[in-house]
């Protein structure tokens, strides 16, 4: 990824990482509005395959064209908003799927479509390391493709200029030292906002006075909650390129890789605050071209695609058999012990948690 760092603006890159508008093969390869895939002759893989995904899915054109030439598949992408919107649309169209496979369902949204029978069974051979990211329930239907983390980020230069020791943990964020310094996207309106809420639930628990008490303290300490990640990062964060006044923001572990100046990052992800997000792909039940869909999943696990993920979608591959760019490994450091909540618990409690969260932040 960082081979292109000098020529990429932080805006163009981080929007992609957060759910920007990209399509398969790059910005000038417009998505094709066609009906779900047509099957190849019986016993052969080929024909049209429709991939339903979120708007930030993109891979190099040459990689896609090489796959199509080798497989005989015509790969069409159909964007469906962010991960939450994608999950909802897949559930709503489960009896008449709009594609052959889906990519982009993450561990915070997986339980709903799995529980509603959206995905067909398919268990590909996983590359080394990928099984570490398999779901406890639904591993035979959803295949891990990439992994990333939502983390609190800080503006290192701001804290240096103010001679203030920056925070490093979730607990630090409620210290009066950091009053009115933090901004976060809302949990009900943003997938990274939801991930940050889940990080606090994982850290403080769901018992009375747990995460709810922590959020009350955050709000009392001047936390600003906005609709989306872009609003938080570009509108309020001091390193967002605008006129932001808050040096603490909820973003990604990869974000510092795009704030490099003179060989150093101007921002830092607080690795003790991170929530792991794993993205999955699965064949849709009732797909017109299930064999083609399976071939696409196999391709997404290939060394070529896995190696392209950091520079294309700014996430880590699940495969241990490929190397990420040196600069990426240096600046986009993964947390050693990310926070997590079991997908089944998220599915059971999401609405209640969001209701309680709304009560806290709007009181």
Fold for 149-275+336-357, please state it. D-Maltodextrin-Binding Protein; domain 2 (3.40.190)
Q: Among 349, 312, 311, which residue's Cα sits nearest to residue 329?
A: 311
pTM of this structure: 0.77
Contact, 149 vs 335, CB < 8 A? Answer: yes
Q: How far apart (Å, rounded) are the C-alpha atoms in residues 358 and 360?
A: 5
Residues of the chain with CATH 3.40.190.10: 2-12+19-147+278-331, 149-275+336-357
Element containing residue 20 per DSSP (H, E): none
3-state secondary structure of 94: coil
Which backbone phi and psi does 221 adopt, to 5 degrees?
A: -90, 10
Q: What share of the chain is helix, strand, coil (3-state, %, to 5)?
A: 40, 20, 40
> Going residue by residue through the chain (363 aa), what tens digit of pLDDT does each one get?
322 233 333 333 333 333 333 334 544 333 333 344 444 445 568 899 999 998 889 999 999 999 999 999 999 999 887 777 888 899 999 999 999 999 999 888 888 899 999 999 999 999 999 999 999 889 999 999 999 999 999 999 999 999 999 999 999 999 999 999 999 999 988 888 999 999 999 999 988 789 999 999 999 999 999 988 889 999 999 999 888 999 999 999 989 988 988 889 999 999 999 999 999 999 999 999 999 999 999 999 999 999 999 888 888 999 999 998 887 888 989 999 999 998 888 888 988 999 999 999 998
Range 2-12+19-147+278-331: architecture per CATH:
3-Layer(aba) Sandwich (3.40)
């Amino acid at each position: 990824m960082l081979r292109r760092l000098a020529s990429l603006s932080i805006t163009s890159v981080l929007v992609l990482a957060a759910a920007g508008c990209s399509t398969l093969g790059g910005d000038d390869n417009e998505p094709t509005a066609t009906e779900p895939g047509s099957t190849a002759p019986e016993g052969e893989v080929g024909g049209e395959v429709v991939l339903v995904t979120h708007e930030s899915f993109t891979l190099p054109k040459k990689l896609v064209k090489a796959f199509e030439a080798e497989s005989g598949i015509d790969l069409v992408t159909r964007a469906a908003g962010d991960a939450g919107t994608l999950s909802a649309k897949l559930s709503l169209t489960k009896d008449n799927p709009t594609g052959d496979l889906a990519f982009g369902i993450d561990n915070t949204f997986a339980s709903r479509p799995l529980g509603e029978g959206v995905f067909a069974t398919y268990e590909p051979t996983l590359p080394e390391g990928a099984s570490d990211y398999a779901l406890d329930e639904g591993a035979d239907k959803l295949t891990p493709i990439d992994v990333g983390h939502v983390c609190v980020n800080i503006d290192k230069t701001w804290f240096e200029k103010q001679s203030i020791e920056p925070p490093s943990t979730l607990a630090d964020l409620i210290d009066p030292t950091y009053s009115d310094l933090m901004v976060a996207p809302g949990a009900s309106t943003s997938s990274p906002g939801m991930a940050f809420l889940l990080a606090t639930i994982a850290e403080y628990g769901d018992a009375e006075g747990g995460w709810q008490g922590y959020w009350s303290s955050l709000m009392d300490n001047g936390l600003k909650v906005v609709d989306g990640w872009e609003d938080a990062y570009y509108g309020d964060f001091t390193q967002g390129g605008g006129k932001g006044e808050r040096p603490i923001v909820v973003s990604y572990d990869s974000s510092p890789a795009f704030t490099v100046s003179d060989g150093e990052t101007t921002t830092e992800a607080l690795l003790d605050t991170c929530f792991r997000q794993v993205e999955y792909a699965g064949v849709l039940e009732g797909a017109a071209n299930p064999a083609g869909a399976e071939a696409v999943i196999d391709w997404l696990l290939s060394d070529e695609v896995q190696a392209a993920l950091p520079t294309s979608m700014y996430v880590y591959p699940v495969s241990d058999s490929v190397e990420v760019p040196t600069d990426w490994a240096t600046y986009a450091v993964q947390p050693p012990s990310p926070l997590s909540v079991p997908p089944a618990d998220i599915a059971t409690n999401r609405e209640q948690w969001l209701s309680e969260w709304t009560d806290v932040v709007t009181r």
